[in-house]
A = this chain, B = another copy of it.
């Protein structure tokens, strides 16, 4: 079925007076006595193209049958449009009705709530908002891969099914092929996972970082970009049970180099989206989050500040502002604090570094003060934390002590310790949730609306 993308017609990759064949779905149709006007959209770009069908054409009955949502193939001549808001229109010579939309088509021309559209996630991509979201999501994915590829990072597919993270089992999904009703039991009357598919208990991964460290210890620079999972019973606009994470990891790199990369990364992805998704971003700017384009451009132009956690706590203590969570050295910095720091105190993106050891993960590198670790979070206006990372503990003895402190079993992580035994290196990396990045780029407020088919407590539809 040779046809042209509507995007190519609108961008005049086809010429005026050229015959074109286009396919798409009817957004609206207006009929006058002598003509019908159809807005046809094929999802290749935000805009629809206007098709004008003379009532005299042989296939005009197809036009009259083409209800909203129906799919058409139209052959006609590309013409300069006299109408406002469009440069181009198609004067139809032949209209073929590929598929009619039943009259109960749920996307009739009117505003639908995002909540309602979530219940028809298989169709919502045909709306302006969701078409734009998923084109931006695509462009951001490509930007991520291109950014790392250009810088010599190797894309690493870390395993989804894992036996090694089981320590944090409370928030993990179990993966099994055992009989769910009557699982085999061992001598201790516990489920006998030695009889399970993998011969031990397995779960869905919560992060590819540990495996990324292994690969960085051979290839220097790697990154992951794949699905990760949390079995948290959180029904909030910021949580998903299944989401995509990006995790670069670099050997021969310290916390400073890690921040340099994070900064370059954020600027790169934003610049790419502003350049490559103009029409979609204008829609978000007008209808979803007013001023988002300026806000993103500002971020790209800003200096990124770097302050320590201890400095951040002092700033929060001195703030003439009351916070829901009281401020005290040693606490977790909450979103309200993050937003104050970046939006009001510094008015620019800021890396907060060197967090208290006790509130951070076992693998973060202990600073010389022995109280803090070489961690960093990047905070940005409108969102708060967008990236979290650290230099990793490369010293075998220190790491072992940390694991003991966190009650982690050495034997389970012997492979992780091995890379400290055999040519260990200072290394660092960070992680960011891809959906939160898309929320930040589009202004969409609910994380369920930036992933094709969201998985949340009680919902695994489609």
Contacts and interface: CB of A to CB of B under 8 A. Distances in A.
Contact of A23 (B102, B425, B460): B425
Interface residues of A, number: 109
A362 interface: no
A44 B197 contact: no
A218 B215 CA distance: 39
Interface string A242-261: 10100000011110010000
A69 B422 contact: yes
Interface string A229-241: 1010100000001
Interface in A100-146: 100-102, 105, 107, 122-123, 125-126, 130-131, 134-135, 137-138, 141-142, 145
B218 A197 contact: no
Contacts of A406: none
Contacts of A318: none
A149 to B, nearest CB: 5
A411 interface: no
B254 A157 contact: no
A278 to B, nearest CB: 16
A181 B183 contact: yes
Contact of A425 (B71, B217, B220, B251): B71
A232 to B, nearest CB: 10
B423 A3 contact: no
Given A159-B462, A461-B163, A211 B423 contact: no
A219 B460 contact: no
Nearest to A170: B177
Contact of A423 (B69, B420, B461): B69
A342 interface: no
A226 interface: yes
A17 interface: no
Nearest to A276: B149
Interface stretch (A298-306, A327-335, A344-352, A451-459): A451-459
A241 B426 contact: no
Contacts of A24: 220
Contacts of A287: none
A63 to B, nearest CB: 15
A57 interface: no
A111 to B, nearest CB: 18
Contacts of A252: 1, 3, 23, 42, 73, 98
B251 A23 contact: yes
Interface string A58-88: 0000000000011101000000000000000
A200 B254 CA distance: 45
Query: Which residue of A70, A131, A422 has the most chain B CB atoms within 10 A of its CB atom?
Result: A422
A325 interface: no
A123 B422 contact: yes
A193 B123 CA distance: 27
A254 B73 CA distance: 14
A329 B118 CA distance: 46
Interface in A157-197: 157-164, 173-178, 180-181, 183, 185, 190-191, 197
Nearest to A158: B452
B176 A154 contact: no
Query: Which residue of A43, A44, A185, A451 has the most chain B CB atoms within 10 A of its CB atom?
Result: A43
Given A157-B452, A202-B460, A175 B177 contact: no
A421 B125 contact: no
21 contacts: A5-B152, A7-B152, A42-B251, A43-B154, A44-B221, A98-B423, A99-B422, A105-B423, A122-B415, A125-B219, A126-B217, A137-B157, A159-B460, A160-B204, A160-B242, A161-B173, A173-B175, A174-B175, A177-B231, A198-B457, A199-B458
